[in-house]
Amino acid sequence: MADLFSYLATVLFALTLIWALLLTRRIRELSARLDGLTRGERGGSFESVLEAHLRRVRDVGEGLKIVEQRTSALEARLPSAVQQVGLVRFNPFEDTGSNQSFALALLDGGGDGVVISSLHSRQATRLYVKPVSAGASDRSMSDEEAEAIKQAVAPPRARSRG
């Protein structure tokens, strides 16, 4: 019986030893893979890679704050920027050969801005500027100036058809 017990203990020890060797090999493989994954560009440790990553995340967060501030500043200025444009070319005089004259409406988001008109003849070109408020002007408008304002305040889809 002692021989049987001794034999079983030897077999159990051999199996345990084989199992331990297999586990050791597996741990080495996993450790090598982990080192390969966590090694930085310069072969640093996992901690240095993680610190560099966290530093980059903080830098991106700070950059995002700057972009948000700039975006807010631009959005605040946007309503007063030229957003609506209408252009009408025309021939006001019979003695000129083409549509060299124009009426150009430049309006902000609220319909405020100017209409610039150019009357071109053989002898001279004259420019006129009239203020526009809320899509209308208190000055008398030519048909072409009124059409330029109408084009400017029209929805974008309607503008592209005309």
Q: Which domain holds residue 131?
A: 81-154
Same domain, 94 and 52: no
Same domain? 91 vs 144: yes
Residues 104, 115, single domain; the answer is: yes
The answer to the question of residue 25 being in a domain is no
User: pLDDT tens for residues 36-91?
Assistant: 776 655 666 777 778 888 999 999 999 999 999 999 999 999 888 999 999 999 98
φ/ψ (deg, to 5) at 42: -105, 15
- In-domain check, residue 24: no
Domain membership flag for residue 3: no
Same domain, 137 and 150: yes
In a domain? residue 23: no
Q: Are residues 71 and 86 in the same domain?
A: no
Question: Both 85 and 150 in a single domain?
Answer: yes
pTM of the model: 0.58
User: Do residues 113 and 68 both lie within one domain?
Assistant: no
Total domains, the chain = 2
The whole-number pLDDT of residue 99 equals 81
Domain boundary at 56, 79, 102, which? 79
Give the pLDDT band (50/70/90) at residue 17.
very high
